[in-house]
Amino acid sequence: MTPTTPSAPPTDPVTAVARALTDISRGRTYPAPRLLSPTAATVVSTLQLTGPRRITDLAEIAGVTQPSMTSLVTTLEKSGLVRRDHDPSDRRAVLVS
């Protein structure tokens, strides 16, 4: 299979990551300006596919501790890839989307 060129760059960061993951899975080359760690890519793709999740859920899915996930979510939030909101069913909890 011959690699093809990636699709046109999207404007929002979450779509950019989702499209990059799709391009990679289809054997397309993708010259990303900054690379996500495998754990960060797991988080972003999980949120893209399943919607908002609690940090504890994301930590379990990614196989890391809750404090590590909190740190990663903070980094992703500063990059504009995710955001935090209060869980409407439990105002003490935070949902990442």
Quick one: 42 exposed, middle or buried, by C-beta within 10 A (0-12, 13-18, 19+)?
Answer: middle
Q: What is the pLDDT of residues 12-71, one digit of tens each?
A: 777 877 777 777 777 766 555 567 889 999 999 999 999 999 999 999 999 999 999 999
- Count Cβ atoms below 10 Å from residue 18 Cβ, excluding itself: 17
Q: What is the pTM of this model?
A: 0.65
Q: At 3, is the pLDDT very low, low, confident or very high (cuts 50, 70, 90)? A: low
Contact by Cβ (8 Å): 23, 6: yes
Q: CATH number of the domain at 13-96, please?
A: 1.10.10.10
Contact by Cβ (8 Å): 3, 27: yes
Each domain of the chain, given as residue ranges in start order, spans 13-96
78 Cβ partners below 8 Å, 6+ apart?
Answer: none
Instruction: Say what the pLDDT of residue 17 is.
Output: 78
Q: 50 in helix, strand or coil?
A: helix
